[in-house]
Chain A
Amino acid sequence: MTTILPRKDVVIVGLGWTGAILAHELTDQGLDVLAIERGPWRDTATDFNIGYAQDELRYSIRRDLFLQPAVETMTMRNDPSQTALPMRDFGSFLPGNGVGGAGVHWNGHTWRFWDSDFQTKTNLTKRYGAARIADLQVEDWGVTGAEMEPYYDQFEYLAGISGKAGNIKGKLQEGGNPFEDPRARDYPNPPMEMTYAPTLFANVGRSMGLHPFPTPSANMSRAYVNPLGITMGQCTYCGFCERFGCANYSKSSAQTTILPVLMKKANFEVRTDSEVLHVDLAAGGKSARGVTYVDTSGQEFFQPADLVLLCAYGLHNARLMMLSGIGKIYDPNTGEGTVGRNYCYQTNAGVQVFFDDKNFNPFIAAGALGQTIDDFNGDAFDHGALDFVGGAGINCIPTNGRPIGTRPTLPGTPKWGSAWKKATVEGYKSTLGYSSQGSSYATRTNYLDLDPTYKDRFGRPLMRMTFDFPDNDIRMSNYLCDRMEDIAKAFGGKQYSVGRRKKGWDSVPYQSTHNTGGAIMGTDPKRSAVNTFLQSWDVPNVFVIGASAFPQNAGKNPTGTVGALAFRAADAIRNQYLRNPGAPLVRA
């Protein structure tokens, strides 16, 4: 028995960063907005309490705040010839759950993608020729860096980002990132106070003629009042950031930047612990009537709405489209279908430098406190003589010294016994690490669809992920490892080790929760699932907001761009869509 509820103007699936941004913008517009969230209500005082927030076992190892695989997982394989099996535990990436979503337990690296990232296909074709990208399936986003700038600015001021501009209106700024696109103004907060390791990294980088700068951080360098009037506290460098909620109101999230205002609005409501099963389409499948969801007692509800916004984690947005029949599921054999197309990830590698005479106090840290070198990111450098496209930011961002997970030792150290213990004590304080966060470019056979065998707790097919690192990206990552090795030699430590990225993506060790694509934006409905305002081509009263919209991933963390795209979609809904509801904003 399905209970039919009173109609809402807008229903939002998922109340994380994008859901909260859209809810705030559309309630300001006077619309009656309901958010439906699969996980629980969470807030700082009750759930990220300073008395127990710093529990490594509970939050980092057992992952108390994350989506549990019993609720939803997905199957994986490396290529289409293999049988996909379920990730019985999440490992390589860790999707969020509950109010605030993954924005609760992120580190806070907040980047802008560059114009050359948005014009990927056009830029690479013009610069290196079509043959260079023949085995990739890269696309343009359909927006320019200049078009995105005001929305990045909006997100950075909402979130109180601490950083140093590198380029204000075309004028390069000393100490910032010289490779970034022009921005209208500096970050709202100055960079964080630097710890020892990134300071040393920046000195070494500068001595080599590279251009280190403070990583833009959503950890507050000082107390901040955002444009909504919400106050955040100064970061205490506690070293419990990624995988943890922040007890200090110092890390930007929906909880610390939007919800205190949003929750007071009479025209907003959130229903938690309620999972949307699918979007219900009208006969003919050209418009959505609302969503069907189920609560924890198993009771099923139909929530009618004029406008449906999918604001779940990007992967879950793609699966909801598949389960709802919004658009056609991508088929790698024919190249037809757009939902599930261009799934991309992040191509990372790392270096450790071991010293005898240094104490880095690794526990004094914050999620986004560090230094970045972008000299080899994206298209900041000439690939003319190279055999790949793309690049990576080189980041020295020591986020923690939590000892269950962070115990660097010299290569060859035994895993247990007295020799292990001695090496662990020696390596704990005196090891410096940095890593390359590399771009991930789409290929024909990296994609998402529905699994033919495995089901979720409601009997619906799990999503199936088919992914391996493309040869191009492995070549890119190896080039970056060579550059990182140059830096390692310049440090003059007693020893260093380089962990190179290899083919055969392994779903077990943690790598990155930067899963992108599956419902990509673009200008051609045959190659994209949503238009450049994130409106579904097929069902125009559905918008799909998140990293699901990225046609490929850059060598940068996605949240800044996700936030900017959310503000851009909100702007388009408020100022264009509502004039003629239900109509496409872009003619195919």
Chain B
Amino acid sequence: MQVVAGGWQFFTPQEAALVEAIVDRIIPADDLSMGGKEAGCAVYIDRQLMGAFGTSSRLYTQGPFLPALPTQGYQGEANPAQRYRVGLAAIDAFLKQRDGKTFAELQPADQDAFLTAMEAGKVELPNGVKGPGFFGLLLQNTMEGFFADPVYGGNKDMVSWRMLGFPGARYDYRDHVSKHNQPYPRPPVSIEGSPEWLGKRS
């Protein structure tokens, strides 16, 4: 069972293509798991940006916004939704000017090279976008989507939990506490249940 995306809520089609390409490099498909795109990481981010996370509605957002010490945390005025909108546009604007292509049109090795440079602060993105800060946000949200309960749109079929051997929402391990160093035998369950129980494993 899986929550099926019913269309993008926050991203434009261009933004969605870019984010899907990025999450597929952050979590590439290989012999350990499907890639971030198929796992639903972009869908997850899309939904998060429409909610309290995207708008920082739970955070302290009063000014003044002053230059910060590293120990004082994020002090920018923009919320995550605004950072994505500006940051994604900056990535493709930069690449179109440099390579004549969008990120999604690059070869995987070139995509990785660009993300590595962005993470390290070695590309000058337009509109004042700070590469390491925006990459950190993308990385954080991609991992959240990959490892969170599938009810949030990512972690399709509990793919990351199966990969790690995390049993998810089981909530009772009394029968295995003393079985030291022995693999836990049961597959994961989500808050929404288990495909094995429902006979709907895709």
- A residues sitting closer than 8 Å to B (CB atoms) are 50-57, 61-62, 68-70, 73, 76-78, 82-83, 85-89, 91, 193-196, 199, 234, 236-240, 247-248, 358-361, 363-364, 401-404, 407, 415-418, 421-422, 424-425, 428-429, 453-455, 504-508
When distances are taken between beta carbons in the complex, the residues of chain A under 8 Å from B149 are: 55-57
Binds A, one of B1-9, B11-19, B24-32, B88-96: B24-32
Inter-chain CA distance A508–B75, complex, in Å, is 12
Contact A195 B177 (CB under 8 A): yes
A236 in complex: contacting residue of B66, B69, B161, B172, CB < 8 Å: B172
- B residues sitting closer than 8 Å to A (CB atoms) are 25-28, 30, 32-33, 52-53, 56-62, 64, 66, 68-75, 112, 115, 119, 139, 142-144, 147-149, 151-152, 160-161, 163-174, 176-178, 180-184, 191
A contact face: mostly helix, strand, loop, or mixed: loop
Inter-chain CA distance A358–B112, complex, in Å, is 33
User: Contacts A52-B191, A404-B144 given: A238-B170 contact, CB under 8 Å?
Assistant: yes
When distances are taken between beta carbons in the complex, the residues of chain A under 8 Å from B180 are: 195-196, 199
When distances are taken between beta carbons in the complex, the residues of chain A under 8 Å from B147 are: 56, 403-404, 407
CB distance from A68 to the nearest CB of B (A): 4
Contact B164 A82 (CB under 8 A): no
Inter-chain CA distance A232–B42, complex, in Å, is 42
Contact A55 B191 (CB under 8 A): yes
Inter-chain CA distance A182–B176, complex, in Å, is 35
User: Contacts A89-B59, A363-B173 given: A77-B183 contact, CB under 8 Å?
Assistant: no
When distances are taken between beta carbons in the complex, the residues of chain B under 8 Å from A236 are: 171-174
Inter-chain CA distance A46–B131, complex, in Å, is 43
Contact A50 B112 (CB under 8 A): no
Q: What are some 6 contacts across the A-B interface (CB < 8 A)?
A: A77-B72, A359-B182, A407-B147, A421-B28, A425-B32, A425-B163
When distances are taken between beta carbons in the complex, the residues of chain A under 8 Å from B28 are: 417-418, 421
When distances are taken between beta carbons in the complex, the residues of chain A under 8 Å from B60 are: 69-70, 73, 86-89
Contact B166 A54 (CB under 8 A): no
Inter-chain CA distance A71–B142, complex, in Å, is 28
When distances are taken between beta carbons in the complex, the residues of chain A under 8 Å from B181 are: 196, 358-360
CB distance from B86 to the nearest CB of A (A): 18
Among residues of A, the one whose C-beta sits closest to the C-beta of B63 is: A454
B164 in complex: contacting residue of A418, A422, A425, CB < 8 Å: A425
Inter-chain CA distance A507–B69, complex, in Å, is 10
Contact B27 A416 (CB under 8 A): yes
When distances are taken between beta carbons in the complex, the residues of chain A under 8 Å from B59 are: 68-70, 88-89
Contact B62 A455 (CB under 8 A): yes
When distances are taken between beta carbons in the complex, the residues of chain A under 8 Å from B168 are: 54
Inter-chain CA distance A56–B144, complex, in Å, is 9
A415 in complex: contacting residue of B74, B139, B166, B191, CB < 8 Å: B139
CB distance from B71 to the nearest CB of A (A): 5
| A-B complex: 5 closest residue pairs judged by Cβ atoms | A196-B180, A236-B172, A69-B60, A57-B148, A68-B58
B32 in complex: contacting residue of A50, A247, A421, CB < 8 Å: A421
